[in-house]
Amino acid sequence: MVTTVQISEDTLELLKKLKANTQSASYDEAIRKVVISCIREKSLGGYLGRKPSSQLLKNLRDKHDRI
């Protein structure tokens, strides 16, 4: 289904930049990419990288902090 949407010239310029930045074939594809990335839940999985837990926990507390 094809739908016509009225937008301002400023918005058209933004859409052109968005299309170029996302390397999309159409405005529809560019808009879909942005919407999907916005509604996708942000996960912190992998945030710390692939390091062993012993390295991540090293220097977690100072010697002066211990009781």
Please state which of the four CATH numbers 1.10.3470, 3.30.379, 1.10.1220, 3.30.70 is assigned to the domain occupying 1-42. 1.10.1220
* Contact (CB, 8 A) for 19 and 26: yes
How many Å apart are CA 50 and CA 26, to the nearest integer?
A: 37
pTM listed for this prediction: 0.56
- The pair phi, psi for residue 3, each rounded to 5°, is -130, 140
| Residue-range domain boundaries for the chain | 1-42
Q: What is the pLDDT of residues 1-58, one digit of tens each?
A: 888 999 999 999 999 999 999 999 999 999 999 988 887 766 666 666 777 777 777 7
